[in-house]
Structure 1
């Protein structure tokens, strides 16, 4: 259906009202006039740039460029215009007062019936604050990563040194070190390479570790307690505690036979995280003479302000741990 003259006129009036009152800065240039001058700019454009309308119209948009405007961004704008396509370019522009702002400039040509550009529009969006926030977030993320990697290295150094002191057999030393460092590294690396998950939760970390150790998987593991988001400083000691308990349970304890099980429960009391590890259904319990693994994790626990106790009950080992969150 053809538009009537009345409807076309009304449409233009509505479009004019919308453009003038839009909060998105907008200007229109005429490429058929010398130097492609601005022929229209809305109040939002003047507010963003600091120039009144009479100082904008009749000028080419290059007056918004300044000393740090990159040639690459200018060339990208020219390429859009010469190709008569619509696109967005991030370009550094300057206000009348000399202050710079990063401009997400969307520009393109309005073509006539003959395929030639009759007008060129440009919509500006100041994104300096957004980019600054992104840069601050990156700096904070880098610092957190550096701190976390430093903590991992420190803990691994302690583990290597103490394991080497307490294991005389080179074969056992290699196996013990490999298991401890793999468990520790996996827990930390997962939280580093998958930051969208945020800090690890206790349930997810325990499930990840224990179901891998248990020969029959989740059938031999019971977890209970409200999920608890782990502070960064607790990831290492908690991972090592669970690794040592699980490794011992596989070799000598509750999950070394098909009928055995491990139950891990936890609760938060004030600033403390309390864990209880209980093994059942395993072979007859004997108090071990060598406690190298438990000595290491006790020292690491003490360094982080926690404590770990073992109760070798006839029905199975019960271990209790307290961490200061």
Structure 2
């Protein structure tokens, strides 16, 4: 088989893979949009070629999609790539086993980078390996902090391992590949959160540290979403009330104030998984707004409500706090996040302020149909 035929077969395999998943599938969308470099190979074809990769992988490697499709991942290896690491990768592929390894790779222009590589086999219902899924993390700039990075990755992988047994039944509810992508996205979010947390602790600049903690807050909210989706028996759907209760508990507990009174009125509202992430950001921004306006400084009262309303459902956060001067930039960014997420959901936001009491109501349609 010549190179042209092999490239054609690899591209056709990738097109078939994309055709199997709807464009609104949250996991497929995450694969394409995430800044974490990811790719899929087909071991059933000669030399296990790449059949699909996202834009982040093209940017990392310096190769275009046309140059990558049909090629084996060894094109990233170079002069100083550790032969032992290469051997471990080959052994894992041959054994059809999971692998995480740090390896020195090279871009198209010959420049080296340290790559935290994760590889997982994807099996069909018969147990046959039909794809290999791989994600990469360029940690060249923090190579000197290798021990901290290894510890963060170890913690993330331990948590993934603890969830593996619980995921078995959940994986049957969706196509096998979609679940494997979601599994890896969760792992990557945990790794990213660990790295951001480490950088925030090391930073001596107050502004940078505040910005990193703001990013970490939202990454952890999305990580909670992924964990809820994976642990739920029906992974195609998402219980807003269950998530909201855990999020408000985590955020308020982190403040470590005894003068905060939390009340809830939560009723099960199940929505498609495609809406999970924007809904999570809506709840996170509403609670975070109350914290910034005074809840985190002087305490106060906060009430969280989730319920159905005649074909719609309501997310309501009301608070009574003694106001403090909030960071204008953070307030503006939070408002933009809230408005963007609400627009994505087709939701309506109503806000009323009476003295020190603020009440925000977000209403949107309940999607009753199954994905």
Report if TM-score (shorter chain) is over 0.5. no
TM-score, with length taken from structure 1 = 0.45
TM-score, with length taken from structure 2 = 0.40
